[in-house]
Structure 1
């Protein structure tokens, strides 16, 4: 385990070849840093982090065998293991796991970009009084303030937990209004994924038209593959689905680009900045397939993600100044090649036992739903044509017929798993270590067993940015800071769905809309270095908002 450090530092120090993570947040108390070994010093102009959400190691093995045993792009980058537990649980939710990657802090289930309520896992420190749910800086914010271009990609809704971890702060991953509004005002250069509905007035509780805000902010909004390919430079926002994008095996390539195509385009655009860039890419739906125990979905999404890795790795090798890290946030499903049916024959089963049934599938469980007619009277025909299954039981037919809309993968995934002897232990996440993949200039890798929270510090060190300083700059407790200036702070909830923090001192008035980076200073619009954040407890503002008052 690493040495103890003070929680009042968030700063990665690499000296004498040793990676030491210290986390400066202006907090009291101490933290136990995570397991790590001596690491070489890395400097990189660019960092690309790729996250195959919920990808367990048997999932990559399955995809490799499905591909005929050919190596994945990930394989040459394999370098260690990542511990995935959260602040108070052995098995992590995506929100705190992604928060650890993005900020260097483990958090609580559902919390996006903020500290937990408490640290209860062994080796973690007691959280200082008043620090619960406090927002902490992410690597995207640090890179942006350092003059680098930034971007996020996801195949889910772009405000889903993991992409939100790198672009927003709120202790509830389900509050899409709060998360998406912050993303729109976060100053990123490239945003590609799904979730278009949640930027429209009809798809939001606050009634705001964020699509219009995006367009007025200078983004080129693209909505299909051709438009993405035609985009050349500048700020780019891709909205390729109303909600989540389709699984790659089911995807219409005209309507939706692949994750590899999105990654390639993002790199093209971001790399035009001579100061460098940071890019986060999430293969979101590996996780969704694992929840459904759908091996075809796993194969579809692992392979699609791996092709995105290949794009990032090719760029890094040519550029020679780019760090690439790939790691999942947690395992999911407890997938195994082999199940209870192979208990007595596991070492005698040919590879075809596991792969041949899977090769018959022409759609994932999600994609299969569209193949049934309205009353699902064609179940036998569809399962024969698209899954090669001709021996459905009465119980299986009843299960398919009764499947709720959007849940067909949960119905058919276990059916093809049974025939391919693919085992599952759960429909939820798992707590084991996951594979770490890394590539850096000179072929240097991050190695050993590392904490998910160490990776943020490693990336920050490579980019030579200080997450601690950024936290101080962006998240100042509003009431205390403005009071020190002799100003009065009030909460204006005239429009309860769009509250405003109002600060007055003498003839000066500052109006700060929550979750935005724009403010009204004595009737004039000013742009702040970060968003105004309310975490349900108190409000935080960027330091430059405080500095407006003398």
Structure 2
């Protein structure tokens, strides 16, 4: 080889290796993002947490084949209403991010280590965008289907060295004074459930917040007062379970919470910033729970419609629709009857979580088979029923991020795969390049491939910073 060419190639390779490997293939920076032609008064930032591209595709296929219509998100593509990109989701510590680092990339504009919220490598605090613009006079809020103190809403709002500091995060929100906060997490506000017995609800009441505990409460709120809506201990129920279990029917949907939040803030003369998170999409992916995944993605899609209906009428709102990372990479696997098998998911009455919590160690094999048939409309073999029962007799236990009851999620998803043709790569986050769509003033800044931190700068440009 020519020595000069060899040295030139060696220098190029050395330069590439000197770069942070997490950033090698996502080398945009704030300077490369041009200023916006349009200025946004409002921003609605929508995150379907843990949504791999397969989740988006399956929800749309289910909606088309079973419900007879495409999803609102996919209609934005087919009608050419949005700018669209792929996004690199890495954190400062890994090419596979967690939700706290991913949200901090959006909220604080920097990549931080997994597990932290807007705290840099040397302990420095980066001001989250919702807090920054709250101080400048805009109204700010978050709604989610998980705990309102969870990583994704927190990443837009506060600084913390630990995403798990949810009791403290509940107090931070009150101190900062966000205008609308809705989701689950009663255990972080209720003195009967907090370890320190502190009544955080009372803290909010003293700051003139109105407290909503169910869907009926939302019909009686006043627009001139800030709102805290806490609708469950832990996360809200899965959407499919809310539909089919009457005990959940006074729990608001993500779309209902989103509409309430917009209505509460839309008349403010300085505008508003709202984050909407379909947080249980991520939890369903962790559990390989296909009925929960599809129906919570569709619930998120209904919230997309709420946001877009407002933005198209308003004309001054930037809508951002994306995810923070992939999870489990589900997809439909080839089979001669793949279409029919996939559509059989319409027979599932409840989430896998609900079904598996309904099984007990004292069930006999026939009782297990009867319950699965009632809820999923397919028949287990005796061997499959016995394998499921072994988990409840303590012979086997299955781990998982949100699997505190050690339910046999993986085993049951493998059984279901024979009947619905849905396969899963894992039960955890992945490093996918993910979907990102933008509508409204500021969306013209979006390039075909960006880093998650670039979205922060696009928002700042659109707001006129």
Same fold (TM over 0.5): yes
- Report which stretch shifted further, 164-173 or 258-267: 164-173
* Equivalent residue number for residue 45 of structure 1: 41
More strand by share: 1
The answer to whether the 8 A contact 2:48-2:300 is kept is: yes
Q: For the structure 1 residues 277 and 442, does the alpha-carbon distance in structure 2 shift closer, same or farther, using more than 3 Å as the test?
A: closer
CA distance in 1, matches of 2:382, 2:104: 44
What is the TM-score normalised by the length of structure 1?
A: 0.71
CA distance in 2, matches of 1:96, 1:138: 12
Structure 1 residues 275-302: Cα deviation after superposition (integer angstroms, max 9, x where no partner): 1000001100111111111111110110
The answer to whether the 8 A contact 1:50-1:327 is kept is: yes
- Name structure 2 gaps, 5 residues minimum: 1-26, 77-81, 393-403
CA distance in 2, matches of 1:39, 1:80: 18
Q: In the alignment, is residue 363 of structure 1 matched against residue 353 of structure 2?
A: no
Q: For the structure 1 residues 353 and 374, does the alpha-carbon distance in structure 2 shift closer, same or farther, using more than 3 Å as the test?
A: closer
Cα deviation for residue 81 of structure 1 reads: 0.9
* Equivalent residue number for residue 339 of structure 2: 351
* Equivalent residue number for residue 73 of structure 2: 74
* Equivalent residue number for residue 288 of structure 1: 283
The answer to whether the 8 A contact 1:34-1:451 is kept is: no
Cα deviation for residue 426 of structure 1 reads: 1.1
Cα deviation for residue 408 of structure 1 reads: 5.6
* Equivalent residue number for residue 305 of structure 2: 310
SS in 2 for 1:407: coil
* Equivalent residue number for residue 23 of structure 2: none
Cα deviation for residue 388 of structure 1 reads: 1.0
* Equivalent residue number for residue 85 of structure 1: 90
Pick from 98, 111, 114 the counterpart of residue 109 of structure 1.
114
* Equivalent residue number for residue 177 of structure 2: 187
Structure 1 residues 173-207: Cα deviation after superposition (integer angstroms, max 9, x where no partner): 11222222212212101000000111123433443
The answer to whether the 8 A contact 1:332-1:430 is kept is: yes
SS in 1 for 2:297: helix
Pick from 219, 229, 239 the counterpart of residue 230 of structure 2.
239
Structure 1 residues 280-332: Cα deviation after superposition (integer angstroms, max 9, x where no partner): 01100111111111111110110000000110000000001100001100000
The answer to whether the 8 A contact 1:100-1:456 is kept is: yes
Instruction: Specify which structure has the bigger relative contact order, considering alpha-carbon pairs within 8 angstroms and separated by 6 or more residues.
Output: 2
How many equivalent residue pairs?
412
More helix by share: 2
CA distance in 2, matches of 1:273, 1:34: 29
The answer to whether the 8 A contact 1:102-1:456 is kept is: yes
The answer to whether the 8 A contact 2:101-2:112 is kept is: yes
* Equivalent residue number for residue 261 of structure 2: 266
Q: For the structure 1 residues 49 and 32, does the alpha-carbon distance in structure 2 shift closer, same or farther, using more than 3 Å as the test?
A: closer
Structure 1 residues 252-289: Cα deviation after superposition (integer angstroms, max 9, x where no partner): 55321000000000000011211100000110011111
- Name structure 1 gaps, 5 residues minimum: 1-30, 118-131, 466-550
SS in 1 for 2:219: helix
CA distance in 2, matches of 1:295, 1:83: 25
The answer to whether the 8 A contact 2:101-2:117 is kept is: yes
Superposed counterparts of 1:316-355, under 5 Å? 316-338=311-333, 342=334, 349-355=337-343
Pick from 156, 164, 172 the counterpart of residue 162 of structure 2.
172
Pick from 357, 376, 400 the counterpart of residue 387 of structure 1.
376
Q: For the structure 1 residues 384 and 317, does the alpha-carbon distance in structure 2 shift closer, same or farther, using more than 3 Å as the test?
A: same
Cα deviation for residue 40 of structure 1 reads: 4.6
* Equivalent residue number for residue 435 of structure 1: 435
Structure 1 residues 376-426: Cα deviation after superposition (integer angstroms, max 9, x where no partner): 443211100111121334244432562573736455333223422211111
